[in-house]
Amino acid sequence: MGFALFNRMLQKHRLAAGGPVKILIVEDDALIAMHLEHLLIESGHAVCAIARDADLAVEQGQFHKPDVVLMDLRLARGTSGSDAARRLHRCHRIRCIFISGNIDQAARCELAPFEPIDFIDKPINPFHLRRALSKVRH
């Protein structure tokens, strides 16, 4: 059995046992990222890292192997959350909950191949965030 498959099996076991969800936040606005981190920790989840652009998101995803990524669509340095999600999904099978101020049907279709867990509109509603995170365990 390969290491990546073994690691995924351990993650699924931990989640099924009710352990905290390990989350990578990818958001270029520092205030929004801090707000998300606060909401997540308050809900009993573990934030493993915060990234501001696509390259750092992929690097942090590879290093931390999060259960899920909270991914903004427009990132720092002109990079794209869609590009980061594609790379994370292709290389590590990491899925995302996408957050954005304008997630239209075209964006949803573009992101569909990366098996999104959910889409959340900005401003972030804590109820919608908790509901989306509950889907990670399934």
- Give me the phi and psi of 50, to 5 degrees please: -130, 130
- Write the single-letter amino acid at 33: A
pLDDT single digits (tens) 41-62: 998 999 999 999 999 999 999 9
Domains and CATH numbers, the chain: 21-45+56-137 (3.40.50.2300)
Q: What is the pLDDT of residue 59?
A: 97
CA distances from 108 to 2, 26, 59, 130 (A): 32, 18, 24, 20
Q: What is the pLDDT of residue 77?
A: 94
Helix (H, G, I), strand (E, B) or coil at 65: coil
> Residue 15 pLDDT > 80, yes or no?
no
> Residue 17 pLDDT > 90, yes or no?
no
Q: CA-to-CA distance for 12 and 33, rounded, in angstroms?
A: 26
Helix (H) or strand (E) holding 88: helix 81-92
pLDDT single digits (tens) 73-110: 999 999 999 999 999 999 999 999 999 988 899 999 99
- For the chain, the average pLDDT equals 89
- Give me the phi and psi of 19, to 5 degrees please: -70, 165
Q: What is the pLDDT of residue 102?
A: 83
